[in-house]
Amino acid sequence: GTGACAAVVAGIRLGLLDTQVQVSTRGGELQIAWSGSPEDSVMMTGPAQNVFEGEVDIPDLSAWPSERLAL
Rounded CA-CA distance 50/38 in Å is 30
58: in domain: no
Q: Give me the pLDDT at residue 11, please.
A: 97
Task: Name the pTM for this structure.
Answer: 0.67
Number of structural domains, the chain? 1
26: in domain: yes
67: in domain: no
52: in domain: no
41: in domain: yes
55: in domain: no
Q: What is the pLDDT of residues 5-62, one digit of tens each?
A: 999 999 999 999 999 999 999 889 999 999 999 999 999 999 888 878 998 877 766 6
Query: Starting at the edge strand that comes first in sequence, how are the strands of the sheet with 20-25 ordered?
Result: 20-25, 28-33, 43-45
Query: CB within 8 A of 21, min separation 6: which ones?
Result: 8, 11, 31, 32, 33
**Owning domain of residue 18:** 1-46
10: in domain: yes
Whether the CB-CB separation of 27 and 49 falls below 8 Å is answered with yes
70: in domain: no
